[in-house]
């Protein structure tokens, strides 16, 4: 409140102060909206380093062609079922990395149940335990985001709601090895 009175005194009028407040509010609103928008096609994905389910750090770098991203439990279940048979081969064949945002999971549940279960999976899961690293990644509730990259530029984002659909997409993306 004191800064408002000081600003009014500096500008000399309440009308000028209203204009100043309106301009500042508009700028702050624009910045908030821009910050809230998820990454999308044509945007550059920042390099990302997270720990996996075995507490080993791994990165998403320029060689990554796909990011399979689950923000919620339903999305994670889709990925788990899709990768059940040959997850490591499917991910490696498509130059894909699986990232899961688990920050909403209560710590006790994570430690006692989720991590031991995740450690049994034969494929690597990069885990965002705090939510900040994946906050800008595109997602839809109860779906998996399949983010296609080219040198960390996002080329497309598909929202997948069935394990068979994710499997098919990863099989279709398989890179022929020499």
Give the Cα separation of 102 and 82 in Å (integer).
Answer: 19
Contact of 76 with 141, CB cutoff 8 Å: no
Q: Rounded to two decimals, what is the model's pTM?
A: 0.79
Give the Cα separation of 151 and 159 in Å (integer).
Answer: 21
Give the Cα separation of 30 and 26 in Å (integer).
Answer: 6
| Eight-state DSSP code of residue 38 | P
Instruction: Give 121's contacts (C-beta < 8 A, 6+ positions apart).
Output: 53, 80, 83, 87
Give the Cα separation of 52 and 99 in Å (integer).
Answer: 9
pLDDT in tens, 82-112: 999 999 999 999 999 999 999 999 999 999 9
- Superfamily for the 48-172 domain: Glutaredoxin (3.40.30.10)
Whether 34 shows a pLDDT value over 90: the answer reads: no
pLDDT in tens, 109-164: 999 999 999 999 999 999 999 999 999 999 999 999 999 999 999 999 999 999 99
User: Dihedral of CA 122/128/134/137: which sign?
Assistant: positive
């Amino acid at each position: 409140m004191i800064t408002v009175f000081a600003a009014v005194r500096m500008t000399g009028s309440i009308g000028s102060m209203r204009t100043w407040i309106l301009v500042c509010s508009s700028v702050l609103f624009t910045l908030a909206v821009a910050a809230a928008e998820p990454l999308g096609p044509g945007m550059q994905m920042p390099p990302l380093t997270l720990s996996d389910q075995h507490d080993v750090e791994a990165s998403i770098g320029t060689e990554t062609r796909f990011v399979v991203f689950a923000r919620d439990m339903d999305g994670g279940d889709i990925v788990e079922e899709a990768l059940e048979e040959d997850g490591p081969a499917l991910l490696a064949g498509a130059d894909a990395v699986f990232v899961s945002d688990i920050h909403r999971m209560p710590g006790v549940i994570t430690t006692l149940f989720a991590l031991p279960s995740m450690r049994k999976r034969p494929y690597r899961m990069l885990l965002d335990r705090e939510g900040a690293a994946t906050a800008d990644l595109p997602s839809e509730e109860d779906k998996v985001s399949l983010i296609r990259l080219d040198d960390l530029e996002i080329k497309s984002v598909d929202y997948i709601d069935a394990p068979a659909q994710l499997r098919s997409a990863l099989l279709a993306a398989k890179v022929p090895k020499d």
